[in-house]
A and B are shown apart, each in its own frame.
Chain A
């Protein structure tokens, strides 16, 4: 009979999709996001990865600080590298870091939130103390310390973002778990002999998953911005050409003073667009998950 359940699940997915499709902000966000995902996936087709190497760039005879008119499509930087290649390959790093850090954030946040909310008592008190502790310690110093201790590579950046941004997710999930836990259907499951694992899997999770998904979509832009900030402060992975790193190099090497807008604008607009796209998608999903925001009337 699981086929019935599957059928209904599929129906649910298509209902959510239908609702999503009818939202303009959601569809705009999705379209923008798809463009960037396509760019990231098709990077090898769009730009030669060797263009990122200053030695190769010099050998190619690229100009220094060449504006788009001199070196299309997006000009070159202070060491003759193609800005277009940096933009294309940078989208990969930025999106990857954003998504991976979000997965980590949501994973830690959900597990902590669900355990704290569901188990309650002392476990809850301890976990919430830890969560608060993470919330109040200033993020940047911690990130700086962690990044310098762990070394500067992409995985460490992901780890740093994940470890510092889960507390708000944990608090949100915990609050939702607390209300779901009080519902009578949890008592019904207990009467049927259900243990904690069953209740979490069949009753708690399905009733908080919408919130978690919406929260995740809203966490991606934060992760991307965080990665940008870290890179901008020179704490990024020196070998990975993320948008944040492009901005940092542009800034450090005086692109502003030279009025070399073509150097920093693409990365900046890229970040803005992706952040906006995720926010629009997240908002739409949130409205669908929480019918009180959208339905009736």
Chain B
């Protein structure tokens, strides 16, 4: 953790269970003011559940969520609080917009709830324009179904930014945007972070997005953070075998040999014992690990990455100091 900086949000040992499914299972992350943390991971790894818990939309089973140093709950005791300085951009813009509201009403809604009377029209105009919906007045009277999918997501972003949040939780914010707008929105998000100290926790499967705007990356697997570190390190020299596999399937990095993970689809209701990645781990399967490590993988849990961690990987091959880079380099 950067010395002397109080994190804007701290999530410690968070558990969110749906019956037997442990969607979030001991995740710890922190976000500092003015930084962008990218949370990446496979579908169903619990990313959305994690940020919904931060937003207060999902009751945690246990764990602590501290926003802005306050309003937290003690471990074990759970409470969710609404905090207007945390806003969310949703994964599915079509569902996130009320089909009976005009775009103007949608963007103005937060202002009205906050009870801000003055300058509503100007703020809505500015927010739409900033989100790339120009000219804004053309969009004022339209209903969500009358604009394209990408335009819808920009309405969602405008509706969140009009609240002037300190932390933006963005769930795949540009996945439905086309390439040209993608750059503009990412640039906008980065600019807001640099200029106003806004922090962003962005959930994405787009590692290029992380490369474009994120200061740090956290990799989630089956409800837990398995690797975290500065963006350059995670994307250029990943240590956890899962992160390596992820990187290998980025369409833009086809030079790398693809490791499409097969085996059983990870199911949060049946988290494997030991290292939760071991049934699919290419490093373990390659047989190049020394016996001392490979024997631990199926039985001993390497544990979650700690809350304060700036750089960590939950993998025996890494923590035992076997020198993962050396291992990967060996032809396998």
Q: Which residue numbers of A lie inside 8 Å of B, CB to CB?
A: 1, 4-5, 7-8, 183-185, 187-194, 198, 202-203, 206-207
Contacts and interface: CB of A to CB of B under 8 A. Distances in A.
A193 B104 contact: no
B96 A187 contact: yes
A190 B82 contact: yes
Contact of B99 (A1, A8, A192, A207): A207
B102 A207 contact: no
Interface residues of B, number: 36
Contact of A192 (B100, B102, B163): B163
Nearest to A184: B95
B199 to A, nearest CB: 16
Contacts of A207: 98-100
A191 B57 contact: yes
B141 A7 contact: yes
Contacts, number: 76
Contact of A193 (B82, B97, B159): B82
B98 A187 contact: no
Contacts of B97: 185, 188
Contacts of A189: 98, 109, 113
A55 B132 CA distance: 80
A81 B262 CA distance: 88
B120 interface: yes
9 contacts: A7-B141, A185-B95, A185-B98, A188-B156, A188-B159, A192-B84, A192-B109, A194-B113, A206-B98
The 7 A-B pairs with the shortest beta carbon distances in the complex, nearest first, are: A184-B95, A206-B100, A192-B110, A185-B98, A184-B96, A191-B88, A188-B96
Contacts of B55: 191
A206 B98 CA distance: 9
A161 to B, nearest CB: 31
Contacts of B163: 192
A194 to B, nearest CB: 5
B99 A4 contact: no
B114 interface: yes
A194 B163 CA distance: 13
B140 interface: yes
Secondary structure type dominating chain A contacts: helix
Contacts of B215: none
B121 interface: yes
B84 A193 contact: yes
A5 B102 CA distance: 7
B113 A188 contact: no
Contacts of A203: 98
A202 B82 contact: no
B87 interface: yes
B301 interface: no
B82 A185 contact: no
Given A187-B90, A188-B88, A1 B96 contact: no
B96 A185 contact: yes
B141 A191 contact: no
Interface string B24-63: 0000000000000000000000000000100111000000
Interface in B100-146: 100-102, 104-105, 108-110, 113-114, 120-121, 124, 140-141, 143
Interface string B80-95: 0010101110101001
A246 to B, nearest CB: 44
Contacts of B87: 191-192
A178 to B, nearest CB: 15
Given A190-B57, A193-B82, A4 B102 contact: yes
B305 to A, nearest CB: 27
Contact of B109 (A4, A184, A202): A202
A198 B120 CA distance: 18
Nearest to A203: B98
Contacts of B102: 4-5, 8
Nearest to A186: B98
B109 A1 contact: no
Nearest to B52: A187
A198 B113 CA distance: 8
B141 A4 contact: yes
A265 B105 CA distance: 54
